[in-house]
């Protein structure tokens, strides 16, 4: 009977997995790029399609460089390849005759909490921050100055003025999902209407993705007015270094975690101390390729490369999936997740990172390993309280929550808190909950192992259980003969390529 360490909140629990369990772990990282800056410059000089940067950049003109907060992958690393890529793009623009003073760094955060000083420091290296003399703009989705570029169906496409009051737009992102990076960075610099409508069934497939369709439409609208080029990086999965080197892709690293002398003492520490220790675990994040061209073209190629190198393979969907949830949100700044964000991490992120077929069978059981405490830090997660209150009525489907959503979007105090950078946009909780819908429609039950707030779990339609053993026993009772139980060793959350069995 294999023993597996799972992260549940800020604790590490050891699970006695069944003998026939499917242990799903990411592959080891592939050989990274030795010089990211040189790779980015080469990509801009020889793009996959369209004109190179040299032809698009007018001498002594103006340029807007669009970057995203590095919310994904989770967890991240202090030294992010996107920092070197941004510095390389700025340097290449300078060499082509656009001085740094005429460059604008546009931080496209979408509906997440607007970046403050701490988040801005993650975007570039300290050395680059000291010498950058251009303008830094943090996007405000509720700004009255947004420029309307047309409509895609019934969805208005409005963007930050920095995307049109310029001579050149350069996106510098990493290919994480169809909703993160590439043309989605332009969408994240737009209005709340398009951001709310940008849903997708799979985060790794463009087919039937409303978010990808809107992002490409917005890219074309921007490119019709301003020269546009994008750089997309394909990243490795983040890996721990030091004592946890090789986790979770290396089976030997699992044994080292089980043998750590202070593991039980660590679980006895106060939660705040455990969380600080986990945040300080050294990690490494590297890039494997850089592509340039129209943002959608470069992003699609980088995403395919990243999925190929980072994904685990499943022969067929699983009947039971066990998933540990870390003590952090998938939005920046990192905080302890409330129950809605726990659901978003499991159902909206981990179970949507698939290609070819969903990783869970129809009627399958998902076991979320997390305390599930009902905590909404004030003021940063206050908008989640509004959605949580609406769920008390027993209504859980996004279309049935329309009245609550309209009321939240029209709340002047919530909008003011977002614009001041004190909380996320009031629509973000509804976007996160909608992202859980594809997985919820396939799952027969969601069990919360180690749940400390049974009421919170039931409000979301989940089943609270005392521990992982009880949850596994309940899942066995629900599963057919020959059912397969899979343990996803994460974080990081990694792509899954799933066969149809």
The stretch 431-436 carries a mean pLDDT of 95
Query: From the DSSP assignment, how many helices (H) and strands (E) are in the chain?
Result: 20, 21
Tokens 């069990």, residue? Answer: 447
The stretch 216-223 carries a mean pLDDT of 98
More confident residue, 244 or 191: 191
The stretch 364-393 carries a mean pLDDT of 91
pLDDT value at residue 262:
66
Cα dihedral 321, 453, 12, 472 in deg (nearest 10): -30
Q: Report d(CA 427, CA 315) in Å as an integer.
A: 37
**% residues pLDDT > 90 (the chain):** 74
Helix axes 412-419, 382-391, angle to 10 degrees: 140
Phi-psi map region of 332: left, alpha, beta (phi>0 left; psi -120 to 50 alpha): beta
Supply 498's token pair. 């799933």
Q: Which of 11-20, 103-112, 196-205, 433-442 has the lowest mean pLDDT?
A: 11-20
Query: Over the stretch 10-20, which tens digit does the pLDDT of each residue have?
Result: 777 888 888 78
- How far is CA 227 from each of CA 118, 139, 421, rounded to the nearest angstrom? 32, 20, 31
- How far is CA 392 from each of CA 13, 343, 385, 387, 389, rounded to the nearest angstrom? 31, 16, 11, 9, 5
Q: Is the pLDDT of residue 501 over 70?
A: no
pLDDT category, 399, cuts 50, 70, 90?
confident
**% residues pLDDT > 70 (the chain):** 97
pLDDT value at residue 431:
96
Q: Report d(CA 81, CA 129) in Å as an integer.
A: 15
The stretch 44-67 carries a mean pLDDT of 96
pLDDT value at residue 274:
74
The stretch 411-423 carries a mean pLDDT of 96
Q: Is the pLDDT of residue 1 over 60?
A: no
Q: Is the pLDDT of residue 434 over 80?
A: yes
Q: Is the pLDDT of residue 45 over 70?
A: yes
The stretch 384-403 carries a mean pLDDT of 83
Domain 36-235: state its class: alpha beta
Q: Is the pLDDT of residue 398 over 60?
A: yes
* Widest pairwise Cα distance in the chain: 70
| Number of other CB atoms surrounding residue 125 within 10 Å | 15
Q: Is the pLDDT of residue 297 over 80?
A: yes
pLDDT value at residue 11:
78
The stretch 135-154 carries a mean pLDDT of 97
Q: What CATH fold (topology level) applies to the domain 3-26+311-498?
A: 2-enoyl-CoA Hydratase; Chain A, domain 1 (3.90.226)
The stretch 284-305 carries a mean pLDDT of 97
pLDDT value at residue 421:
95
**Domain boundary assignment for the chain:** 3-26+311-498, 36-235
The stretch 115-144 carries a mean pLDDT of 93
pLDDT value at residue 168:
98
pLDDT category, 359, cuts 50, 70, 90?
very high
Mean pLDDT of the chain: 92
Residue 463 β-bridge partners? 447
Supply 138's token pair. 């943090």
pLDDT category, 392, cuts 50, 70, 90?
confident
Residue 354 β-bridge partners? 496
Q: Is the pLDDT of residue 266 over 90?
A: no
């Amino acid at each position: 009977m294999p023993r597996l360490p799972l992260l549940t909140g800020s604790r590490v629990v050891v699970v006695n997995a069944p003998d026939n369990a499917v242990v799903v772990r990411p592959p080891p990282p592939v050989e990274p790029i030795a010089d990211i800056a040189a790779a980015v410059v080469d990509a801009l000089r020889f793009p996959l399609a369209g004109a190179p940067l040299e032809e698009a950049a007018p001498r002594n003109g103006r340029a807007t460089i669009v970057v995203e907060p590095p919310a994904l992958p989770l967890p991240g690393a202090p030294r992010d390849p996107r920092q070197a890529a941004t510095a390389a793009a700025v340097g290449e623009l300078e060499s082509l005759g656009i001085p740094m003073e005429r460059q604008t760094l546009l931080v496209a955060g979408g509906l997440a909490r607007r970046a403050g000083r701490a988040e801005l420091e993650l975007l570039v290296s300290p050395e680059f921050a000291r010498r950058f003399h251009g303008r830094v703009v943090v996007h405000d989705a509720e700004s009255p100055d947004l420029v309307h570029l047309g409509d895609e169906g019934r969805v208005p496409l409005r963007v930050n003025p920095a995307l049109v009051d310029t001579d050149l737009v350069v996106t510098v992102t990493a290919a994480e999902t169809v909703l993160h990076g590439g043309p989605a960075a332009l969408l994240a610099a737009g209005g709340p209407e398009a951001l709310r409508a940008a849903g997708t069934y799979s985060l790794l497939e463009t087919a039937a993705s409303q978010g990808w369709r809107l992002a490409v439409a917005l890219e074309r609208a921007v490119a019709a007015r301003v020269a546009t080029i994008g750089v997309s990086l394909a990243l490795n999965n983040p890996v721990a270094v030091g004592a946890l080197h090789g986790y979770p892709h290396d089976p030997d690293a699992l044994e080292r975690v089980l043998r750590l002398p202070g593991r039980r003492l660590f679980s006895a520490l106060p939660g705040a101390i455990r969380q600080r220790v986990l945040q300080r675990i050294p990690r490494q994040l590297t890039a494997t390729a850089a592509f340039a061209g129209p943002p959608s073209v470069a992003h699609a190629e980088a995403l395919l490369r990243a999925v190929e190198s980072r994904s685990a393979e499943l022969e067929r969907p699983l009947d039971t999936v066990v998933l540990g949830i870390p003590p952090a949100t998938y939005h920046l700044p990192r905080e302890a997740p409330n129950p809605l964000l726990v659901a978003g991490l499991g159902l909206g992120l981990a179970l949507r990172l698939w290609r070819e077929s969903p990783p869970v069978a129809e009627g399958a059981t998902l076991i979320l390993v997390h305390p599930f405490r009902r905590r909404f830090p004030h003021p940063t997660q206050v908008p989640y309280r509004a959605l949580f209150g609406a769920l008390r009525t027993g209504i859980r489907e996004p279309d049935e929550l329309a009245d609550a959503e309209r009321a939240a979007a029209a709340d002047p105090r919530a909008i003011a808190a977002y614009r001041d950078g004190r909380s996320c946009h009031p629509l973000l909780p509804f976007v996160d909950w909608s992202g859980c819908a594809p997985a919820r429609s396939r799952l027969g039950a969601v069990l919360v192992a180690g749940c400390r707030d049974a009421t919170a779990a039931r409000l979301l339609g989940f089943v609270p259980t005392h521990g992982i053993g009880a949850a596994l026993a309940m899942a066995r009772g629900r599963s057919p003969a020959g059912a397969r139980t899979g343990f996803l060793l994460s974080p990081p959350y990694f792509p899954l390529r799933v066969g149809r069995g």
